[in-house]
Amino acid sequence: MSEGSPHLVVGGVSKRYGPTTVLDHIDLTIRRGELVTLLGPSGCGKTTLLRAIAGLAQPDTGKVELAGRDITNVPPHKRNVGVVFQSYALFPHLTVAGNVAFGLKVRGMARREIDIAVERALSLVKLGHLAGRRISALSGGQQQRVALARAIAVEPDVLLFDEALSALDRKLREEMQVELRRLLQEVKATAIFVTHDQDEALTMSDRVAVMNKGRIEQLAEPRELYLRPASLFALNFVGLSTRISGTVLSADNGKVHVETKVGRLSALGSFQAGSPVIVAARPEQLRIGGGGETNSASGRVRSVVFQGSRTLVEVDAGAGESLLAELSGRDGAIPDVHDEIRLSWPVTETFAFPMEAQA
Give contact residues for other proteins (rule: CB under 8 A). 54-56, 75-79, 81-83, 85, 87, 89-93, 102-103, 106-107, 150, 154
The CB-of-137 to other proteins minimum distance in angstroms stands at 17
The CB-of-146 to other proteins minimum distance in angstroms stands at 12
- DSSP class per residue in 18-38: TTEEEEEEEEEEEETT-EEEE
- The span from the CA of 219 to the CA of 228, in Å, is 11
- CA atoms 62, 191, 240, 291: torsion sign: negative
Could you give the C-alpha distances from 7 to 135, 140, 204, in angstroms and in order? 34, 32, 19
Nearer to other proteins, 156 or 283 (CB): 156
Nearer to other proteins, 168 or 288 (CB): 168
Nearer to other proteins, 146 or 258 (CB): 146
The CB-of-111 to other proteins minimum distance in angstroms stands at 17
Nearer to other proteins, 76 or 263 (CB): 76
- The span from the CA of 55 to the CA of 77, in Å, is 8
Environment class of residue 22 by beta-carbon count within 10 Å: exposed (0-12), middle (13-18) or buried (19+)? buried
Which amino acid would we find at residue 229?
P
- Nearest to residue 64, comparing CAs of 48, 88, 43? 48
Contacts of residue 38, Cβ cutoff 8 Å, sequence gap at least 6: 46, 49, 50, 192, 193, 194, 195, 209, 211
Nearer to other proteins, 156 or 229 (CB): 156
Nearer to other proteins, 157 or 217 (CB): 157
- The span from the CA of 220 to the CA of 28, in Å, is 12
Per the CB < 8 A criterion, the answer to whether 268 and 352 are in contact is yes
Per the CB < 8 A criterion, the answer to whether 326 and 310 are in contact is yes
The CB-of-165 to other proteins minimum distance in angstroms stands at 16
Nearer to other proteins, 85 or 226 (CB): 85
The CB-of-240 to other proteins minimum distance in angstroms stands at 35
- The span from the CA of 355 to the CA of 260, in Å, is 13
The CB-of-8 to other proteins minimum distance in angstroms stands at 15
The CB-of-63 to other proteins minimum distance in angstroms stands at 19
